[in-house]
Structure 1
């Protein structure tokens, strides 16, 4: 079940640092935000990329450059406690999915003045997709032109084949219990060091197949009413968020126009996985640009 970016195949030539590092203050927390140079064409759509659990924003640099090359203005955020965001999760950390969703809104608010009049897309990978969807549920999608869900699912144990599902249930609940016992998830082979609130909410979704309440707000009915266009992308070779899990998640979006695609090794020409697609995202970047153009 280990979920980490790790080694993704043959080393590539190091890409130049092409972004400006910014920060968004969130009380005691500080979120890192990477802003890439604008494309030459003025007024192009913008996209904010939200990473997977425990994966720093810098890991998405190759994909961010691909997105920029197809004509999008690109920003990549660090989730709380990861990468350039601070502080590091500890026993004092209580934040969970509700706070991650609010962080998406905070970054949107910071970017609003410079993106006025331009369509803004959210692109979430794994946990980042859940944070974005929950933000959309809590706001009705205000100010967001479209959402890209990449390699994400609820890890709901009933969406897996029977034996794998039972194993997934056992593993997810063991991680949740460990985080509750220690007051923080130490990052033992999965997801990096995490707040017990994040792990608790994650294990809840794996057990129940639905999102927990966000400070008393039930996001499930709001997701069903959401009308923001969605591009939902599963990835061949993804053991952590298989296509069936994404299909289950998409069924919650009953009112939204959902375009479903499966990103394959044949399309890219290299073997893909839950993380490897980030380093081989050229064709997917073009699909995102087409999606942005269509909703624009």
Structure 2
């Protein structure tokens, strides 16, 4: 079932799809990677549904089936996604599935946003599962690979200054991306923190959000150190489960798993199971 909501004072039309399980289980809100359309997650969603979960997945504003596309005059950043986009999805999820604790399942950029939401809202009664996501600070890479994210951020800043958005499809990274989002992304590559977003992030020791992170061995965009660095925003002792890529080594593990998501489905389900014995008051995970 496909429905939609409005974002950023109604400027963006944001479709979302609901997948219902035959049994009553948790509702998993899938937050996509940069430039990956929501429809690419269908096999993953169906696998989660077969395991007894309800699933809701939406395109980011201006991506996939959402419109219009970002431009010099249509912009948004991380804080808009944390303060408005995610709360809208949570309200929709609770409207469709009033019982059970919602789970934010974020892939790459989606993992950033899910983690930031939990860090800014430690009492929100959500669970976070991150997949192939991480803090993109250059120190989370080794050797010459440390040049990757800083150099990319410089290029992105130049392109967004010229075009007013990032022409990701043209350069082979992401989609038609919002200027502020990519500039903020790039600042993390240099600083390793999200202070520039202006979000009031609570320290990990004061955050009781249940969370679990899944990495793909050989992922050039989210090595294990990067994943642990992101998870540390809401976990004093990050829980990270590294999986072999289910696809050939010639395919980028960062998103190739979507073509064969069974092992990631299993890792998500087993990760959530560890929280099932400690539900929030009056709710089940």
Q: TM-score, normalised by structure 1?
A: 0.84
Deviation at 1:138, TM superposition (A): 2.4
CA distance in 1, matches of 2:42, 2:4: 17
**Contact 2:115–2:233 (CA under 8 A) maintained in structure 1:** no
- CA gap of 1:181–1:151, structure 2 versus 1, over 3 A, is same
Distance 1:176 1:263 in 2: 33
- Could you say which residue in structure 1 is the equivalent of 2:230? 249
Structure 2 residue aligned with 1:75: 56
Unaligned runs of 5+ in 1: 1-19
Q: Report what 2:271 is aligned to.
A: 291
User: Residues 154, 177 of structure 1: CA spacing in aligned structure 2 closer, same or farther, 3 A cutoff?
Assistant: farther
Q: Which stretch of the first structure deviates more once superposed, 171-180 or 46-55? A: 171-180
Q: Which of 122-131 and 106-115 deviates more?
A: 106-115
Native 8 Å contact 2:203 2:234 kept in 1: no
Tell me the residue number matched to 2:281.
none
Match for residue 108 of structure 2? 126
Q: Is the 8 A contact 1:159 1:245 kept in 2?
A: yes
Separation in 2 of the partners of 1:223 and 1:94?
30
Q: Distance in 2 between matches of 1:167 and 1:138?
A: 28
Q: Distance in 1 between matches of 2:140 and 2:155?
A: 19
CA deviations on 1:127-159 (whole Å, 9 max, x unpaired) are 011111122222224131x11110011221111
Deviation at 1:290, TM superposition (A): 2.5
Residues paired across the two proteins, number: 269
- The 5 A counterparts of 1:122-201 are 122-144=104-126, 146-187=127-168, 188-201=171-184
Structure 2: unaligned runs, 5 residues or longer:
277-285
TM-score (norm 2): 0.88
Question: For each residue in 1:163-201, what CA deviation from the matched residue of structure 2 results, as whole angstroms up to 9, or x when unmatched?
Answer: 211243122222123212321111122111111011011
1:281 to 236, 261, 264: 261
1:109 aligned counterpart, secondary structure:
helix
Matched, 1:211 2:232: no
- Deviation of 1:232 (Å): 0.6
Q: Distance in 2 between matches of 1:110 and 1:236?
A: 34
8 Å CA contact retained: 1:55, 1:83? yes
